[in-house]
Amino acid sequence: MSSDALPHPDRVHRLEGALNLRDLGGLVGSDGRRVRRGRMFRSEYPGFADLADGAAVRSLGLRTVVDLRRGTEMSFECVPWAEHGVDHHRFPLSAGGESSWRARYHAYLTSRPDTVVEAVRLVTTAAAHPVLFHCAAGKDRTGVVAALVLLVLGVSEEEVVADYVLTETSLDLVLERLASAGPYAEMLAGSSLDDQLPRARNMQGLIDWLAERGGAREWLQANGLSHGHLETFREQVLER
């Protein structure tokens, strides 16, 4: 399916070397206010940063990158962000003993909640914007952080799920790259595109799990993010 057939196709950035890059801006948050564009981006491994002498990094104006990958992944490939004048921070999300590709998404929140919270803390800090957060495919770990951020902003469950599902439009190309890349080749061996699709029920499962605990905002506050931090974030990122 073409991304043009899905909600908010204008949020997708078609840059050379970017397969699954999009802006969280443009979605509608609380009180009908929209999320500001150009503040928060999500992507797969951002190999586009090394092309054309970092032209895409400059076009996005990136100040901060939040890397959600494990150390073995980063040691295999990592953009030299310092050369681009960008601060790089790694918060490796883990689903514990579950497969990082097939885990129920709340496993990321129960295995290492502190790491999830610290990743969200930086993404929701306006001084770090524009910020890009990513994992390998930009689907699972990235999807969890995106969902938490958008739910805090009051974006509807339907829009959060739609943003997650939007990865489907580029997943075949993302998996093709990963299947031939070091640490991912064995992980993806015998796995089909259908196995890896970002199905709506996967994200809805996380949203329902959070709802049982009072919602994303309540979960984040219970695990270390302050009410004041989240209120400041909302006021700085939602258009007036």
pLDDT in tens, 130-176: 999 999 999 999 999 999 999 999 999 999 999 999 999 999 999 99
170/94 Cα distance (integer angstroms): 24
Mean pLDDT, to the nearest integer, of 90-99?
Answer: 84
| Residue 7: cis peptide before it, omega within 30 degrees of 0 | no
- Strands of the sheet containing 22-23, edge to edge, are 22-23, 40-43, 131-134, 64-67, 87-90
What whole-number percentage of the chain has pLDDT above 70?
93
pLDDT above 60 for 7? no
Q: Is 8 domain-assigned?
A: yes
Q: Which of 7-11, 59-63, 91-95, 182-186 has the lowest mean pLDDT?
A: 7-11
Number of domains in the chain: 1
Residue 84 lies in a domain: yes
Task: Report yes or no on 95 lying in a domain.
Answer: yes
Give me the sign of the Cα torsion angle 220, 105, 90, 99: positive
Distance CA 142, CA 149 (A): 11
Structural domain for 133, as ranges: 3-235
Q: What is the pLDDT of residue 110?
A: 94
Confirm whether 60 is domain-assigned: yes
Q: What is the DSSP pairing of strand 64-67 with strand 40-43?
A: unpaired
Residue from 117, 128, 135, 171 carrying the catalytic annotation: 135
> Does the pLDDT at position 16 exceed 70?
yes
The verdict on whether 78 is a catalytic residue reads: no
Helix (H/G/I), strand (E/B), else coil: 120: helix
Average confidence (pLDDT) over 191-205: 90
Q: Which DSSP state fits 190?
A: T
Q: Which of 13-17, 97-101, 197-201 is modeled with the greatest confidence?
A: 197-201
Taking each helix axis from N to C end, the angle separating 227-237 and 141-152, rounded to the nearest 10 degrees, works out to 90
171 belongs to a structural domain: yes
What CATH number does the domain containing 143 carry? 3.90.190.10
Helix (H), strand (E) at residue 116: helix 113-123
**Residue range 103-113: mean pLDDT, rounded:** 90
Overall pTM > 0.75: yes
Q: Is 90 exceeded by the pLDDT of residue 1? A: no
Q: Does any domain span residue 40?
A: yes
Is the residue at 240 inside a domain?
no
Residue 17 located in a structural domain: yes
